[in-house]
């Protein structure tokens, strides 16, 4: 009871901390917005502002004789003028999205191999206003799909920022809803406008994340089609520098027969493309990391997962009906923790250790101390990650890594032990989309039983094999339908991406050809004491383990 009470207190404190963090972001934004109309100096105190303006004018008069132009004054966030400026921006962006999503040639022209379409830049700037951001690269993709879900449910996923970030955890690192201008009409999301700060990522520490500050606008049209558009607000915040500018992007959603919805997705961004490792550049240029096809593939996979919720659970042993829901919830949290723990987010501080075979095989390390979060083990944790290229199709890599019969060939942490399946749930239409619970078959009868929770999922743009050890008490809680929210999970595993475009910008069905970009991450508890430290010898051992795993995987898949 005492432990549960402490967990509840910690949860309340974390909630309060998040509220204060969001409030702090708003205050910082407000301070940035309140600027001198002449020189853009933040208005902290009136006297200081006058002195800075005076000093600035004197300096300019001495330095140049010609007239100069200053930045336009900022508009105070939350003011009527600011809201009017945002509404004007999103209304214009909505008009652009409707046209870009539905027009054909000459705006979208067939690629050389005629397998996909690319945006005609010359035609785009003839029709729409606004120059490219200097020094930034353009990425524009469009994709459509039939998703098994009602349009209103898809709108709810996209407009609930927390749920949106969780569903798209393979692309979204962090998302904060800074402002909401309208609560919607008649209890819906129609005409809702949100101002958001979002960090986008690829599941690898060698690809920089993308920070973006934008408004999201939802509108239901007369034909019952829903449209949701994102557009950056950089022009309202000249002092705010982001590496990713979102031109009008988003989707059109329309209900179709038999429970499906037709979704047209457009991603159009300008990015500062520096810092990306060379092995990931073809993937990003093809739009398979951040493009429309990636977003639709994730959304389709999530809706398949929901639809499969009513399929009977394949069980070996005893399980109550509510165990399905608990197992899916903890698996979803495990995947989110993995995706957000292996990227180059500002929240992750990486140290480079060593190289294996070449530059792309650099091992990176990060340590964390957990004293208050019951969703991960308390104590001192070590994360080791490496990303590397394999000349092996993604499907073959995925099938090999998820095969429990060959797992002991590469999983050094199993120490040669076998695993036995306890239960599994089918989570998608693709072969191998499963949540599985395994028991490690330890020959030592006196040792504690170890249970391994694993999720394997794949679509046309990515595949994952993610797992985490849990104790028998936690396993019983899950299988008996107990609350899984405080079960500590420290996930390890693999993210498998295609190494670039095949067949005109698309990977082949199920990733049957081409090479793979593989990210391997190991997270282990070093010491239950949070104030502990890690010795160089322990780092060396961990480094050797991950290097041996890479060698074993390469030895099997390349031979």
DSSP letter string over 430-459? STT-EEEEEEEE-S-TTSPPEEEEEEEEE-
Assess contact for 362 and 355: CB atoms under 8 A: yes
- What are the distances in angstroms from CA 17 to CA 13, 20, 23, 489? 6, 5, 10, 22
Assess contact for 427 and 304: CB atoms under 8 A: yes
Assess contact for 339 and 205: CB atoms under 8 A: no
Nearest to 149 by CA among 230, 225, 263: 263
Residue 69, pLDDT score: 26
Q: Mark out the alpha helices in 107-147 (DSSP H runs).
A: 121-127
* Cα(5)–Cα(477) distance, integer angstroms: 18
Return the bridge partners of 456, or none: 434, 465
Assess contact for 433 and 424: CB atoms under 8 A: no
Nearest to 82 by CA among 30, 38, 43: 30
CA-derived radius of gyration, the chain = 25
- What are the distances in angstroms from CA 139 to CA 13, 132, 267, 268, 417? 41, 11, 8, 6, 47
The CB-side HSE value for 238 (13 A sphere, CA atoms) comes to 14
* Cα(453)–Cα(390) distance, integer angstroms: 26
State which H helix or E strand residue 111 sits in.
none
Assess contact for 338 and 349: CB atoms under 8 A: no
* Cα(269)–Cα(263) distance, integer angstroms: 19
Residue 286, pLDDT score: 87
Tokens for 434?
Answer: 């499963």
Residue 346, pLDDT score: 86
Residue 304, pLDDT score: 92
pLDDT tens, position by position, for the chain (559 residues)? 666 666 667 667 766 666 676 666 665 555 544 444 334 334 433 334 333 433 443 333 333 222 222 223 345 566 788 889 999 999 999 999 999 999 998 999 987 665 678 899 889 998 987 777 778 889 999 999 999 999 999 999 999 999 999 999 999 999 999 989 876 777 789 999 999 999 999 999 999 999 999 999 999 998 889 999 999 998 887 667 678 899 999 999 999 988 999 999 999 999 987 888 999 999 998 889 999 999 999 999 999 988 876 555 555 444 446 778 889 999 999 999 999 999 999 889 998 886 544 444 579 999 999 998 999 999 999 999 999 999 999 999 999 999 999 898 898 878 778 888 888 888 888 889 999 999 888 766 656 678 999 999 999 899 999 999 998 889 888 888 888 888 999 999 999 999 987 554 455 544 566 899 999 999 998 888 888 888 888 888 888 899 999 999 999 998 7
Nearest to 53 by CA among 67, 65, 70: 70
Assess contact for 423 and 409: CB atoms under 8 A: no
Residue 261, pLDDT score: 96
Assess contact for 384 and 365: CB atoms under 8 A: yes
Q: Is the pTM of this model over 0.85?
A: no
Handedness of CA 2, 7, 13, 15 (dihedral sign): negative
Residue 50, pLDDT score: 34
Residue 41, pLDDT score: 39
């Amino acid at each position: 009871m005492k432990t549960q009470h402490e967990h509840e207190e910690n949860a309340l404190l974390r909630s309060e901390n998040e509220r204060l963090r969001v409030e702090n972001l708003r205050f910082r934004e407000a301070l940035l917005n309140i600027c001198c109309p002449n020189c853009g100096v933040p208005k902290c105190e009136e006297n200081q502002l006058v002195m800075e303006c005076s000093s600035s004018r004197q300096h300019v008069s001495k330095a140049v004789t010609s007239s100069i132009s200053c930045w336009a004054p900022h508009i105070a966030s939350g003011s009527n003028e600011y809201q009017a400026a945002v509404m004007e921006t999103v209304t214009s962006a909505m008009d652009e999205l409707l046209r870009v999503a539905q027009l054909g040639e000459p705006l979208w022209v067939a690629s050389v191999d005629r397998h996909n379409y690319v945006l005609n830049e010359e035609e785009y700037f003839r029709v729409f206003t606004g120059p490219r951001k200097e020094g930034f690269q353009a990425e524009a993709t469009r994709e459509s799909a039939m998703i098994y879900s009602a349009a209103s449910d898809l709108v709810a996923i996209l407009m609930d920022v927390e749920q949106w970030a969780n569903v798209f955890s393979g692309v979204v690192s962090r998302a904060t809803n800074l402002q909401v201008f309208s609560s919607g009409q008649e209890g819906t999301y129609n005409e809702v406008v949100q101002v958001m700060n979002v960090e986008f990522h690829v599941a690898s520490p060698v690809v920089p994340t993308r920070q973006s500050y934008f408004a999201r606008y939802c509108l239901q049209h007369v034909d019952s089609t829903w449209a949701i558009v994102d557009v950056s607000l950089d022009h309202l915040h000249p002092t705010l520098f982001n590496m990713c500018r979102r031109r009008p992007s988003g989707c059109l959603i329309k209900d179709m027969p038999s429970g499906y919805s037709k979704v047209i997705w457009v991603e159009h961004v300008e990015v500062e493309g520096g810092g990306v490792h060379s092995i990931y550049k073809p993937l990003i240029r093809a739009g398979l990391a951040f493009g429309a096809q990636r977003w639709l593939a994730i959304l389709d996979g999530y809706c398949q997962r929901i639809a499969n919720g009513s399929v009977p659970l394949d069980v070996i042993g005893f399980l109550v009906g509510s165990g399905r829901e608990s197992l899916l919830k903890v698996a979803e949290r495990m995947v989110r923790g993995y995706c957000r723990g292996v990227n180059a987010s500002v929240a992750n501080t990486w140290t480079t250790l060593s190289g294996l075979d070449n530059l792309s095989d650099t091992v990176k390390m990060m340590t964390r101390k957990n004293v208050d979060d019951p969703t991960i083990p308390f104590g001192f944790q070590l994360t080791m990650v490496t990303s590397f290229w394999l000349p092996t199709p993604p499907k073959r890599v995925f099938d090999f890594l998820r095969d429990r019969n060959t797992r002991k060939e590469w999983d050094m942490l199993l120490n040669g032990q076998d695993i036995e399946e306890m239960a599994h749930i089918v989570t998608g239409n693709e072969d191998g989309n499963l949540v599985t619970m395994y028991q490690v078959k330890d020959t030592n009868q006196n040792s504690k039983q170890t249970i391994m929770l694993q999720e394997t999922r794949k679509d046309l743009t990515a595949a994952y094999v993610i797992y985490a050890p849990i104790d028998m008490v936690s396993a019983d809680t899950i299988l008996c339908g107990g609350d899984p929210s405080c079960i500590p999970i420290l996930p390890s595993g693999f993210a498998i991406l295609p190494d670039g475009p095949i067949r005109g910008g698309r990977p082949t069905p199920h990733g049957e050809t081409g090479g793979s970009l593989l990210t391997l991450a190991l997270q282990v508890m070093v010491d239950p004491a949070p104030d502990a430290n890690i010795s160089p010898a322990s780092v060396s051992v961990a480094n050797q383990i991950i290097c041996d795993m890479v060698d074993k995987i390469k030895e099997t898949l390349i031979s």
